[in-house]
Structure 1
Amino acid sequence: MRVEFDAVTVRMAGRTVVDRLTLDVRSGEVVGLVGPNGSGKSTALRCLFGALRPTSGVVRVGGADVASVSLRDNARRVAALTQESRTELDFTVREIVELGRYPHLRGNRRLTARETEVCKDALRAMDLLALTERSVVGLSGGERQRVFLARALAQEPEVLVLDEPTNHLDVRHQIALLSYLRGCGRTVVVALHDLNLAAATCDRVAVLGDGMLREFAEPGLALRTELIRTVFGVEATSITHPATGDPQVLYALSRPSTSEEATS
């Protein structure tokens, strides 16, 4: 399903957080949002899943203005994982994932056999079958993150909106998740801090800085050295991964000068 940001601006507390953002995400495409803290990534995503209304401009999903669609109806098409996803309730993993079916239910109707299987598929995709009857309260941060991801998948969305989904995940589960996103066939809009993960996962990358779109292109162009320097304020070198051909970023760490260097 196609996603469009059409000149979207968001102003909060007298500050422009997102400034005339225009993006056209093709159906089935994986698009990454990258940028420094405060660049507007999370705010833009909130507009997409309906938690925030733009000050001006329009966000469309499948041609429909998100602001004109009820949250429940939007949740049938768009599933979101936010950085604030959490629960302190003593629910089992299975129960949390089954909540993903809520937008599709009417009243107190029980899950059908098919819906139960959908939830099981989501648990399997996030490597959670062995934890199904465990309480989420006793899980690690990474395990909880996978539970919330499985809940999003259980919604059977056409669009996945993910804000830093690799937070708390170990390397194996980061790779498993991003590999899943590449092959899931859904439209995915994902905010990532790790530029190398973005390069390996995304069809195109949108680089944000100070709320504005600085580049929207394939990873090799979007993550070029001079743009990284300008937007992120770091020195880096872009190379090609020898096995996959994906662009990768090597960072140059600043080193404290020695006493001899300081006096020379």
Structure 2
Amino acid sequence: MALRLDGLSVVTDGKSLVRDLSLDVPDGTVVGLVGPNGSGKSTALRCVYRALRPTSGAVRVNGDDLARLPLRRSAQLIAAMTQDGAVDLDFTVEEVVALGRAPHLRGAQRLGRDERDACAAAMDHLGIGHLADRGVLTLSGGERQRVLLARALVQDPEILVLDEPTNHLDVRHQVQLLSLLRQSGLTVLVVLHDLNLAAAACDRIGVLSQGHLVAAGTPGDVLTPELVLDVFGVGASVVPHPLTGDPQLLYSLGPAH
């Protein structure tokens, strides 16, 4: 299931947050959005999971305008893990994960055996099965991140959008999460701040600056010292990873040149 941001623009309170953004996320690929703070990454993602209506342009799924689909149908197709996805009520981990099945249920329909098994499998896969009966408010930030990802996965989407999913995670769980995305077979659009993680996890990368898409392509094509200096204001050397060949950035701590 292919995703396309088609001439997307968002204007709020007279300020242009995203400007004529066009980006393809081909079926089954992982595409990363990177850019400085305030460059429009999260705003673009909010349009994809329909938390925000674009001022102009459209989000298209297999060519169809997402805004024309019933909300229930779009929730079956697209799952989101957001930065502001905190759970304020002290549900148990199991209850929060089970909320991912809501778009597939009708009314007060209860979860069936297969759905409960799917929730348990997602929790076990993310290493939180032992937390099933714990209240989410008692968890660490990293544990909550994994709970929210499990909720998104049991939604059984075809498209997964994630906004800074590695926040609060230690290195092992960052690698585990991004490996899971690579192996999921889903169409994935993910915002990442860590350019080295983006290079390792993503098939393609789109770079935003001040709401504009300034570059898009494979990590090797996009992540050049010139672009990193121009967009991020940081000096860096780019070297191939010794095992994978993925570009890796070595940052200079001195003045940018």
TM range (shorter): over 0.9
CA distance in 1, matches of 2:68, 2:198: 31
CA drift of 1:68 comes to 1.3
What's the secondary structure of 2:8's corresponding residue? strand
- Partner amino acid for 1:208? L
Q: Which runs of 5+ in 2 are unaligned?
A: none
CA distance in 1, matches of 2:105, 2:23: 32
CA drift of 1:118 comes to 1.5
CA drift of 1:126 comes to 1.4
CA distance in 2, matches of 1:78, 1:40: 20
- Partner amino acid for 1:187? T
CA distance in 2, matches of 1:88, 1:3: 31
Structure 1 runs (4+) greater than 3 angstroms displaced = none
Work out whether residues 159 and 186 of structure 1, in 8 Å CA contact, stay in contact via their aligned partners in 2.
yes
Provide the residue aligned with 1:167 in structure 2.
167
TM-score when normalising by structure 2: 0.97
CA distance in 2, matches of 1:238, 1:214: 19
Provide the residue aligned with 2:110 in structure 1.
110
CA drift of 1:114 comes to 1.2
CA distance in 2, matches of 1:127, 1:153: 14
Work out whether residues 49 and 66 of structure 1, in 8 Å CA contact, stay in contact via their aligned partners in 2.
no
CA drift of 1:189 comes to 0.2
1:71 aligns with 2:71: yes
CA drift of 1:121 comes to 2.0
Provide the residue aligned with 1:210 in structure 2.
210
- Partner amino acid for 1:89? L
TM-score when normalising by structure 1: 0.95
Provide the residue aligned with 2:201 in structure 1.
201
Provide the residue aligned with 2:187 in structure 1.
187
Q: Percent identity?
A: 58
- Partner amino acid for 1:22? S
CA drift of 1:18 comes to 0.5
Provide the residue aligned with 1:120 in structure 2.
120
CA distance in 2, matches of 1:53, 1:67: 8
CA distance in 2, matches of 1:240, 1:2: 30
CA distance in 2, matches of 1:189, 1:132: 28
CA drift of 1:88 comes to 2.0
Structure 1 residues 107-135: Cα deviation after superposition (integer angstroms, max 9, x where no partner): 11111111112212211221111111111
CA distance in 2, matches of 1:19, 1:90: 39
Provide the residue aligned with 2:228 in structure 1.
228
Higher gyration radius (CA): 1
Give the 5 Å matches for 1:74-153.
74-153=74-153
What's the secondary structure of 1:6's corresponding residue? strand
Q: Which runs of 5+ in 1 are unaligned?
A: 256-264
CA distance in 2, matches of 1:88, 1:42: 21
CA distance in 1, matches of 2:130, 2:42: 32
